[in-house]
Amino acid sequence: MYIAKIATSVQTVVVVTTSNSAESTETSLVARVRIAIKDAGVSHSEVARRIGLDASKLSKSLAGTRKFRVEEISHIAELTGVTTDWLTTGRTARPPRRTMVADVPPSLSESPADYFADDFAGDTRMAQADGEAALGPASEQEWMSKGTRSRVTIIAAAWELYADLGIAKVRTEDVARASGMTASAVNYHFRTKDQLLQAALRHSLDIIAQTRHLNDPADPAAVLRHFARLHAGVDRKIRRVWSIWLQCWARAATDEGARANLTAVYGEWLGMITAVVESGQRSGAIRTGDTSLMVKALAIFIDGLGVARTTEHMPITDDEALAMLENYLVAHVLADGDTSTPDPRIPKPERVAAAGGPDSTS
């Protein structure tokens, strides 16, 4: 027997299902939570911060590998402007909005089938004006307080400067000029350069999470394939992400504080990948076995490729990078007989090409 008791501002709702339907109930709840977050125009990382939950735990809950706690559902409902009754039971035809939250334009409300397609459209959106891209959709800008908006603007400006010029060369005055603020405003939000650097590192994590939709469990193999394509370094913004990672790795080698910051953020990154792999293992799309070891091995392979692509000490073309990542996924991660559709821009895996077999067409 599965019992969930949800407290709302006006009533207490008790949802009782049999053990046979408990899984489908949880799946429906997760789907409604995803819809509420998407319609509110709030990023997953921001939701995690606002409700006091680790980003990796939110990622696992949205992927179906961890159940939401009662208080988390309540906080998400309040944050996204829907009722806990709708999140837990879906009794109304659409998410009931509280008056404090404005409805999001239809263009921001998409079906789950649109999520993966948006990843590729996101590559084009990355070329937008930096200020606009940093703040996100208009609905999210309206949702932010003035202080939060200023903080996000500073982080985005610092992130670009750190990536393009180098952390050591960037001064507070440079960040202030790039963000259109005063040096005192930058110092107000970030008392030290280390604080701003940690925020910039987390900004890299936010960018990765937003562009590869790691919380979409519908096709884990496709998610990992797109994740691989992004990390091959074929996108300008992801190349900046690699620049930040590389510089933080170098600092972590000799600085204990930098090492602690990097470990915390990198742990969240691994948590998001783990959620996708676990989802794929449950569905049969990804091989069973030691999940932790599989994730670490994949991370090490990607990190090594990222270093080579960023430093250019080894000439690797876009096609070569994509082929290497696809070959690795086929050889070590994806289940035999995987039927997911690979990105057509990724060259055919070597073992398939050698056998003269056709590309996957499903």
Mean pLDDT computed over 71-78: 85
Q: Same domain, yes or no, for 74 and 120?
A: no
- Mutual angle of helices 256-283 and 291-311, in 10-degree steps: 120
- Distance between CA 182 and CA 100 in Å, rounded? 32
pTM: 0.59
Q: What is the token pair recorded at 135?
A: 């703040």
Question: Among the three residues 37, 55, 90, which one is the final residue of a domain in this structure?
Answer: 90
**Given a cut of 60, is residue 117 above it in pLDDT?**
no
Q: Same domain, yes or no, for 178 and 77?
A: no
Asked whether the beta carbons of 252 and 269 are under 8 A apart, the reply is no
* CA 329 to chain centroid: 20
288 lies in some domain: yes
**Given a cut of 90, is residue 291 above it in pLDDT?**
yes
- Distance between CA 292 and CA 299 in Å, rounded? 11
Nearest to 211 by CA among 244, 248, 236: 236
**Given a cut of 70, is residue 171 above it in pLDDT?**
yes
Q: Same domain, yes or no, for 327 and 230?
A: yes
Beta strand pairing status for 12-17 and 2-7?
antiparallel
Burial class from Cβ neighbours inside 10 Å (0-12, 13-18, 19+) for residue 145 reads: exposed
Burial class from Cβ neighbours inside 10 Å (0-12, 13-18, 19+) for residue 28 reads: middle
Q: Same domain, yes or no, for 201 and 137?
A: yes
Q: How many domains does the chain have?
A: 2
Q: Same domain, yes or no, for 52 and 157?
A: no
**Given a cut of 80, is residue 120 above it in pLDDT?**
no
93: Cβ–Cβ under 8 A, 6 or more apart, which residues? none
Listed as own residue / partner, the contacts of 131-140 with beta carbons closer than 8 Å and 24 or more positions apart are 131/156, 136/41, 136/43, 137/41, 137/108, 138/41, 139/40, 139/41, 139/102, 139/104, 139/105, 139/108, 140/41, 140/42, 140/43, 140/46
**Given a cut of 90, is residue 28 above it in pLDDT?**
no
Percent of all residues in the chain with a pLDDT value above 90, rounded to a whole number: 25
Comparing 9-13, 96-100, 213-217, the range with the smallest average pLDDT is: 9-13
| Strand (E) or helix (H) holding 6 | strand 2-7
- Distance between CA 251 and CA 139 in Å, rounded? 37
What pLDDT is recorded for position 129? Answer: 35
Mean pLDDT computed over 172-183: 94
106 lies in some domain: no
Q: Same domain, yes or no, for 152 and 219?
A: yes
What pLDDT is recorded for position 176? Answer: 95
307 lies in some domain: yes
Nearest to 362 by CA among 213, 219, 224: 219
pLDDT band at 234 (very low <50, low <70, confident <90, very high): low
pLDDT band at 298 (very low <50, low <70, confident <90, very high): very high
Q: Same domain, yes or no, for 146 and 23?
A: no
102 lies in some domain: no
DSSP for residue 332: I
The torsion of the CA quartet 162, 164, 169, 173, rounded to 10 degrees, works out to -70
103 lies in some domain: no
Q: Same domain, yes or no, for 141 and 49?
A: no
Q: Same domain, yes or no, for 209 and 284?
A: yes
Output the domain CATH number for residue 39. 1.10.260.40
Q: Same domain, yes or no, for 49 and 130?
A: no
Q: Same domain, yes or no, for 230 and 303?
A: yes
> What is the per-residue pLDDT across 3-12, written as a single tens digit (0 to 9) for each?
444 444 434 4
101 lies in some domain: no
**Given a cut of 70, is residue 344 above it in pLDDT?**
no
Q: Same domain, yes or no, for 128 and 81?
A: no
Q: Which domain holds residue 19?
A: 2-90
360 lies in some domain: no
pLDDT band at 46 (very low <50, low <70, confident <90, very high): confident
pLDDT band at 285 (very low <50, low <70, confident <90, very high): very high
Question: Among the three residues 72, 90, 108, which one is the final residue of a domain in this structure?
Answer: 90
**Given a cut of 50, is residue 358 above it in pLDDT?**
no
> What is the per-residue pLDDT across 99-116, written as a single tens digit (0 to 9) for each?
333 333 333 333 333 333
pLDDT band at 350 (very low <50, low <70, confident <90, very high): very low
Nearest to 249 by CA among 186, 316, 299: 299
Q: What is the mean pLDDT of the chain?
A: 74
Mean pLDDT computed over 184-210: 86
Output the domain CATH number for residue 248. 1.10.357.10
332 lies in some domain: yes
What pLDDT is recorded for position 246? Answer: 92
Mean pLDDT computed over 262-266: 87
pLDDT band at 143 (very low <50, low <70, confident <90, very high): low
